[in-house]
Amino acid sequence: MILIGLGANLPGDFGPPRATLEAVLRAFPKVGIELVQLSRWYESEPQPPSDQPWYANAVADVATTLRPAALLEELHALEAEFGRVREAPNAARTVDLDLLAYGDEVQPGPSLILPHPRLQDRAFVLEPLVDLAPEWRHPVLGRTARQLLDALPPGQGIRVVA
């Protein structure tokens, strides 16, 4: 599985955050990414906690012939195309696309870390990931998505969007 985390908490040219993320999904094919499956949509509070608006989040399972570094470049290009400005870490944004996992590949960095180094700490990634693949196994930690979610401490606000 190739997993991409989607998030946004500022409106963009396509409207509210979820509408922008849906437009990004429609743009995937033009850069060689095929959407295989999408989780339910969630709203989550910013992490770390702040006074920012809540985020729209989902996780996509995709197919592509792009290798991880090239895929990450395309994701960053899409972020820029859809209005992301990288000002400061954890700043509010119109779109955030994270390469969470690329099959079982493990890359320690420095320019690309796989799987995503904070995947196991984030309810806004794990809740939608469990929708898609509760038995997906973290290639480093060896735990399933469900086990990782169950191990999270309380306090990360997240809810399914109807």
CA distance 101 to 148: 15
Among 18, 26, 51, 84, the one annotated catalytic: 84
Alpha carbon separation from 140 to 22, 106, 121 (Å, rounded): 31, 7, 14
CA max distance for the chain? 40
Active site residue 146: no
Q: Which of 96, 118, 121, 122 is catalytic?
A: 96
Q: How many residues does the chain have?
A: 162
**Residue 10 to residue 39: CA distance in whole angstroms:** 21
Task: Let me know if 98 is a catalytic residue.
Answer: yes
| Catalytic member of 98, 131, 137, 159 | 98
Q: Is 104 a catalytic residue?
A: no
Q: Which of 13, 18, 61, 93 is catalytic?
A: 93
96 an active-site residue?
A: yes
Torsion 116-57-11-74 (CA) sign: positive
List the catalytic residues: 84, 93, 96, 98
